[in-house]
Amino acid sequence: MRKMKIGITCYPTVGGSGVVATELGKMLAEKGHEVHFITSSTPFRLSRNYPNVYSHQVDVNSYSVFQYAPYDIALATKIAEVIKNEKLDLMHVHYAIPHAVCAILGRDMAGSNIGIVTTLHGTDITVLGTDSSLKEAIRYGIEKSDVVTAVSDSLKAQTYEMINPNQDIQTVYNFVDEREYHLKEVGQLKKEFGIQEDEKVLVHVSNFRKVKRVGDVIDTFYRVQKQVASKLMLIGDGPEMGRAIQQARELGIEERVLFLGKRDNLSELYNISDLKLLLSEKEAFGLVLLEAMACGVPCIGARIGGMPEIIEQGINGYLVDLGDVEQAAAYALEILTNPELQQQLKKGALETVESRFHSTAILKQYEAIYESLLDRG
């Protein structure tokens, strides 16, 4: 495998796409490739120095004559500069807009012919793709990229349905760093959160956007805690947090719902969890499902988006129809009251990550894509 110089652009703030882009960059660097992140701030998973990893910050100035700061133009200019100065072999951008469009413009500004790989993560298609003012730009970004990947077959199908681009799209699934997400001893962590040893722990992790339907998670837990001594850990923060707190209060379960906010010790928290709930109405993949499964936590998810590509009924968890909190609670109770079933699903979850989503296999897929774009003259 040739060592390559790879530029990566993503949204650096907390979010699945930023996590995948950053972990991919770090692992490529470990394999000896030179990785250049070109982002508006340092990606949150890049908090220290890593060999072979370089960070180029896009400075966006505000001018009183402009109503909006020109991030896209500043990014394209920075991409052009890094392509030329660092002699990049290719760019891998995450999100069709603005990042694919910026990379295309940046490559043109640099007078270069390097390959551009664009990964679609979901929000760029399922949310932005419905906006008629953006649809043509998304199509342009996809069609002018050299290779386009989507994080699930479902997202790929949805992209053809909504945007209908004249471009092949390959599915390359998300992955986790198994060195971080695995079974581990976490000592007294349960106690530190005031959870009794015999209490079951349900967990939900998200950015609390409306599409995550955190209300369904709380409604499911409400039914569960009536029959099984349990606590619900809600991890993350976002626009729906206030409503979630109010709902827990109205249901009289505020003592049983732990609002933990944003956390960076997710793998430890999964290791005290018995069950994960993700009941979103849009979820191109559901990286958090994989993170939980890698720590041996079975998952209950909604039968939408990419979730059916991860959750196998009765093998590593259960799928329910969107909004069916009765069924979600019934499955949860089945798991939490049957240690044998819980153990079997735990094993299934660990095997799923190992056999279908292992980082080594996913990295190889990306490297093969990159190789196919080298030496373009």
Q: Which chain residues interact with ligand GMT by CB under 6 A?
A: 15-18, 20, 121-123, 126, 151, 174, 207, 209, 211, 282-287
- Give the nearest distance from C-beta 100 to ligand GMT in angstroms: 14
- Give the nearest distance from C-beta 33 to ligand GMT in angstroms: 21
Q: Compare residues 15 and 70 and give the one whose CB is closer to ligand GMT.
A: 15
- Give the nearest distance from C-beta 90 to ligand GMT in angstroms: 20
Find, among 232, 233, 252, 220, the residue nearest to 332 by Cα: 220
Map tokens 């005290």 to a residue. Answer: 272
- Give the nearest distance from C-beta 340 to ligand GMT in angstroms: 31
- Give the nearest distance from C-beta 187 to ligand GMT in angstroms: 30
How big is the CA angle at 308 (ends 304 and 313), to the nearest 5 degrees?
125
C-beta of residue 253 within 8 angstroms of C-beta of residue 314: no
| Phi, then psi, of 232 in degrees rounded to 5 | -115, 125
C-beta of residue 334 within 8 angstroms of C-beta of residue 227: no
H-helix or E-strand spanning residue 250: helix 241-250
Q: Compare residues 121 and 256 and give the one whose CB is closer to ligand GMT.
A: 121
How far is the first Cα of the chain from the last one, in angstroms, to the nearest whole number?
19
Q: Compare residues 32 and 160 and give the one whose CB is closer to ligand GMT.
A: 160
- Give the nearest distance from C-beta 278 to ligand GMT in angstroms: 9
Dist. CA 43–CA 41, nearest whole Å: 6
Q: Compare residues 24 and 110 and give the one whose CB is closer to ligand GMT.
A: 24
Q: Compare residues 126 and 273 and give the one whose CB is closer to ligand GMT.
A: 126
Q: Compare residues 5 and 94 and give the one whose CB is closer to ligand GMT.
A: 94
- Give the nearest distance from C-beta 45 to ligand GMT in angstroms: 12
Q: Compare residues 211 and 300 and give the one whose CB is closer to ligand GMT.
A: 211
C-beta of residue 65 within 8 angstroms of C-beta of residue 35: no
Give the C-alpha distances (Å, rounded to integers) separating 91 from 33, 152, 369, 370. Answer: 13, 21, 12, 9
Q: Compare residues 7 and 236 and give the one whose CB is closer to ligand GMT.
A: 236
> In sequence order, what are the residues at sequence separation of 6 or more whose Cβ sits closer than 8 angstroms to the Cβ of residue 105?
76, 79, 80
Residues forming a β-bridge with 93: 9, 118
Name the closest residue to ligand GMT (Cβ). 122
Map tokens 């079933």 to a residue. Answer: 341
Using DSSP, state whether 226 is helix, strand or coil: coil
- Give the nearest distance from C-beta 212 to ligand GMT in angstroms: 7
